[in-house]
Amino acid sequence: MTNFRHIRRVAGSYIFIAPAFLLFCIFSLYPFLKVLQLSITDWDGISSTMNYVGFNNFKDLWFDNPVFWASMKNAFYVTFLALTVQNFLALFLAMLCDREIKGGNIYRVIFYLPPVLSGIVVGLIWN
């Protein structure tokens, strides 16, 4: 009897997970697998034929494409600057807001206003 209850409990859990898993498969897993399939073909996006080329696309990208390496360098710079400068600036401003200074409450309101206003604006737009 306890085995039947265990099976019902487990089946109920899977039923509750099924909609989220289905959405994950439709919007995440399928596009990822489709991109992997397209990356090893020479399909132009219009014709009905897809020729298998294997890893030649990746070989061309890594060894024969200077634009790829320039874009990778730019992405590295942007990421590095975003991680260092933005975090340092955010920490500095947070430390300034934490101190007891003249007009400190005004600075706190100014820093807190953009996150609050964005929600208000979205609410007004949807209203």
- Residues 92, 53 share a domain: no
Same-domain status, 55 and 73 = no
Last residue of a domain, one of 64, 86, 106: 64
78 and 25 part of one domain = no
Residues 29 and 72 in one domain: no
Asked if residue 79 and residue 32 are part of one domain, the reply reads no
List average pLDDT for each run of 10 residues in the chain, which is 127 residues long: 79 92 96 94 90 91 91 94 90 82 80 85 89
Residue 37 shares a structural domain with residue 91: no
Same domain, 116 and 96: yes
Query: Mean pLDDT of all residues in the chain?
Result: 89
The residue range of the domain holding 49 is 1-64
Instruction: Match 């997970």 to its residue by tokens.
Output: 17
- What is the domain count for the chain? 2
- The whole-number pLDDT of residue 20 equals 95
Same domain, yes or no: 5 and 39: yes
pTM, two decimal places? 0.54
State whether 77 and 23 are in the same domain.
no
pLDDT of 51 reads: 92
107 to 78, 98, 99, 112, 117: CA distances (angstroms):
28, 10, 11, 9, 16
pLDDT digits (tens, 9 = 90+) for 3-38: 888 888 888 889 999 999 999 999 999 999 999 999
Q: What is the pLDDT of residue 6?
A: 82
State residue 31's pLDDT score. Answer: 96
